[in-house]
Structures are given as structure tokens and as C-alpha cells.
């Protein structure tokens, strides 16, 4: 139990650290840039900030909601993002409507600091989250994935400015969570996906006739850096573009994840 709680505390610390990094970046962002389009279709920067505030407040709110149903795995839970897109969009617009840049930044800061000072009592083992029941550890990891992904979205939305600082622990949580989704959704051993030094997972081969790796160097290897993997997994970067740019190295005739990515 102590080990599980310790992991939960570390992941929550990562969420808070990444949230604070985003707040610091927004505090220095000129007010007129909040109205600029973001890299997400249909959202300006202010709407994206509203979504981030909803994300962090939702982390705290859901932690107190018990579900008696069997929890979904993280891979199963995120499938609900697509069908819930209209609801997510409405919540983001509602959170950002008629708020000044300073008010939006303050709202996000308040949510992050509430997460930092939350009572560390045990939350329910299974939570009633918006897309279905989920274990508390997976719920926290899903929120870290959101903050890491959208920190990068903010950076790419204002390319003339310094990027949002990426917390190393938060980036590690996000990469490992996404790699776990990939391995669960496409089980097998024919391809090893490496994101050094954070994680290596095997996937593929459950439904194909490709070679299966048992020990030693696998016949098919995909290797990339952490931020590129996050972008591929969340649909911010296409497989072909990543290969062309050299940000992904793929060897072996089965080392093609274009049919498996993005995950979200």
C-alpha cells in the first residue's frame, strides 16, 4: 500500500509541477496572444487555457466520486474522448467565456494550487469519471497526459516565444502511460518501441504473422524521443512526417506504427 501511495504522490507532484510551469508561461504571455488561434482546430489560446482549468479541477472533483463498477483500463477509458468531444468543447468554452487573460490564468493557478494542497487521504479505489469508471492511479495519469500534451500545444501555438517548460517527471508519466496504452491496444511481441531512457514496450503480432521477439535484440525496433512520442500518440504529428524528419528511427519490415497511431 505504501508503495502504491508513494507512486500516486509522485504522479500528483508531477501534475502540479507541470501545471505551475504552464501558469508561469501564461503569466508572461501578452494578453493579445490569448485571442490568437491555437494549434487545435477551432480553439484559440484562451479556450485551451479554459480546458486546462477544467482538466485540473476535474482531477480534484472526480477523486471524491466513488464507482462500484469494474474500472476501465486507461486504454479503454481514453476511447471515450472521441464521442465526448462536443461535451469537452462546451466545457472549455464555458470555462473561458468572458474571462480576461489574467482571470483565466488565475483560475488555472487556483486549480493547480488546490491540487497541490489537497488532503492526502485515500480517495476511492475506483472513481466515477466522465468517460466511465477508472482506477484512481489511471485517472491521475490521464490528467498528467492532458497537461503535458497541452503544454506542448501552447508552445506550438506561440512559436515566437520560449516553449512551456516541460517537467521531466510529468513527461515521464505521460510517455509511460501512452506506451502502456499502445501495448494493451496492440498486444504482441513483434515490435519493440523504445523511448529512451523512459520506457520500452513490445507490441504487435497478436493478429499478424510477423516474427515474435523472445530475447535479445528484437527484429523490429521503433525508437524516438519523449516529446515526439507524445505528439505521435496524441495525433499532433503523423508517422510519415516523423520518419521524414528523422525524429523516429524504425528498423525491420514490421516497424511501421502508422496503423496504430495516434492512440487518442
pLDDT surpasses 80 at 160:
yes
Which of the four pLDDT bands, split at 50, 70 and 90, describes residue 4? low
For the chain, what percentages of helix, strand and coil (3-state, to nearest 5) are there? 55, 15, 35
Q: Checking DSSP bridges between strand 221-224 and strand 188-195, what pairing results, if any?
A: parallel
Quick one: which of 264, 6, 257 has its CA closest to 145? 264
pLDDT of residue 7: 81
What DSSP letter does each residue of 71-132 carry, written as one string?
A: PBPHHHHGGGGTTTHHHHHHHHHHHHTT--HHHHHHHHHHHHHHHHT---SPPPSEEEETTE
* Position 88 pLDDT exceeds 60: yes
Mean pLDDT value of segment 36-48: 98
**Model pLDDT, residue 124:** 87
Q: Is 156 exposed, middle or buried (0-12, 13-18, 19+ CB in 10 A)?
A: middle
C-alpha distances in angstroms, 221 versus 195, 218, 235?
Answer: 11, 7, 21
Q: How confident is the model at residue 209 (pLDDT cuts 50, 70, 90)?
A: very low
Domains of the chain: 2-174 (1.20.120.450), 186-251 (3.30.1050.40)
| 11 touches 143 (CB < 8 A) | no
Q: What is the pLDDT of residue 206?
A: 46
pLDDT for residue 119:
66
Q: Which of 17-26, 47-56, 122-131, 209-218 has the lowest mean pLDDT?
A: 209-218
Closest CA to 93 of 37, 143, 54: 54
Cα 217 to Cα 179: distance, rounded to the nearest angstrom: 19
| pLDDT recorded at residue 208 | 46
Helix (H) or strand (E) holding 197: none
d(C-alpha 89, C-alpha 95), whole Å: 10
Considering the chain, what percentage of its residues have pLDDT values greater than 70?
91
Is the pLDDT reported for residue 71 higher than 90?
A: yes
Amino acid at each position: 500500500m505504501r508503495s502504491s501511495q508513494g507512486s500516486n504522490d509522485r504522479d500528483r507532484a508531477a501534475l502540479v509541477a507541470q501545471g505551475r510551469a504552464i501558469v508561469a508561461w501564461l503569466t508572461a504571455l501578452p494578453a493579445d496572444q490569448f485571442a490568437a488561434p491555437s494549434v487545435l482546430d477551432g480553439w484559440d489560446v484562451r479556450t485551451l487555457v479554459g480546458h486546462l482549468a477544467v482538466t485540473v479541477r476535474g482531477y480534484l472533483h472526480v477523486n471524491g466520486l466513488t464507482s462500484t463498477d469494474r474500472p476501465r483500463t486507461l486504454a479503454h477509458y481514453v476511447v471515450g474522448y472521441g464521442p465526448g468531444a462536443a461535451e469537452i468543447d462546451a466545457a472549455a468554452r464555458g470555462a473561458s467565456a468572458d474571462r480576461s487573460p489574467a482571470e483565466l490564468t488565475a483560475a488555472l493557478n487556483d486549480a493547480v494550487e488546490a491540487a497541490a494542497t489537497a488532503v492526502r487521504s485515500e480517495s476511492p479505489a475506483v472513481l466515477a469519471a466522465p468517460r466511465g469508471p477508472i482506477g484512481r492511479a489511471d485517472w491521475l495519469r490521464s490528467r498528467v497526459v492532458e497537461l503535458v500534451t497541452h503544454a506542448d500545444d501552447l508552445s506550438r501555438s506561440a512559436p515566437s516565444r520560449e516553449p512551456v517548460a516541460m517537467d521531466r517527471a510529468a513527461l515521464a508519466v505521460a510517455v509511460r502511460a501512452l506506451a502502456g496504452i499502445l501495448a494493451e491496444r496492440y498486444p504482441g511481441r513483434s515490435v519493440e518501441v523504445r523511448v529512451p531512457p523512459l520506457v520500452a514496450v513490445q507490441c504487435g503480432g497478436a493478429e499478424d504473422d510477423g516474427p515474435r521477439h523472445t530475447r535479445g535484440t528484437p527484429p523490429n525496433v521503433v525508437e524516438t524521443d519523449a516529446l515526439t512520442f507524445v505528439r505521435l500518440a496524441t495525433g499532433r504529428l503523423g508517422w510519415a512526417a516523423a520518419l521524414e524528419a528523422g525524429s523516429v528511427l524504425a528498423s525491420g519490415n514490421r516497424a511501421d506504427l502508422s496503423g496504430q497511431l495516434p492512440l487518442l
